[in-house]
Amino acid sequence: MRKQPTQKRAQLTLEAVYQATAELVDKEGIPGLTTNKIASKAGFSVGTIYQYFSSKEELFRAMVKYSRETALGEINVYLYNCESLDDPASIDLEILIRGYIAILIDGFAFGPPLRRIVTRLCWMVESPEETAETMQALVVRLVQFVNYIQHPQLKLLTETRCFVLSRTIIGCLRSASLERLEPRSVTELTNALVEMVMSQLDLSRQPA
């Protein structure tokens, strides 16, 4: 970005630009998108956009970073709140996992309507390296959480299993977002993902 937003007004301007960009792409696609169209949709002059971005490609990159950092921040807050409980090792595992997956679904596929559109655009323009960086951040934080709370049912959740589960879940959410899965399917999708994770933590099975 050419300029970093330092005031609330500037941040609101960027959010309006992000939303306008996502809505235009959702309706018209990427090829015909121009900064003039974005400015008109957002209600600003094109010069306002060029204060922050030199091109629509740079705007896309900023949107991806903003969206991913927001989702990762929400995950971090959720896990921190769990870690801060008096006895985190006694947390009901299914409730814990359901809450975690609900945040992932909201951040990577089915948030509120405008966020859902922004998320879809991010999946469309995100590079493989950017996706890998987000996945790695999820794995690192989850491993830290598992090691910290020492929950007896999380003993099988090794770093490798965290890697596999995170990529399986996010891969599913990426497809749900890009294929425009109906939001009414969210409950069923949540249940299916929770069941998948719980099956990986079946203590009756021993790791190979």
For 41-84, write each residue's pLDDT tens digit. 999 899 989 988 988 889 998 999 989 999 999 999 999 999 99
C-beta of residue 90 within 8 angstroms of C-beta of residue 101: no
> Which phi-psi region, left, alpha or beta, contains residue 130 (left: φ > 0; alpha: ψ -120 to 50)?
alpha
Provide the token pair at 26: 């959702």
Give Cα 45 to chain centroid, integer Å: 30
d(CA 38, CA 36) in angstroms, rounded, equals: 5
For 108-139, write each residue's pLDDT tens digit. 999 888 888 889 989 999 999 999 999 999 99
Percent of the chain with pLDDT over 90: 56
pTM of the model: 0.84
Q: Residue 1 has what pLDDT? A: 56
pLDDT greater than 90 at residue 155:
no
Q: What's the pLDDT band for 207 if we cut at 50, 70, 90?
A: very low
d(CA 17, CA 15) in angstroms, rounded, equals: 5
Average pLDDT, the chain: 88
Q: Residue 201 has what pLDDT? A: 79
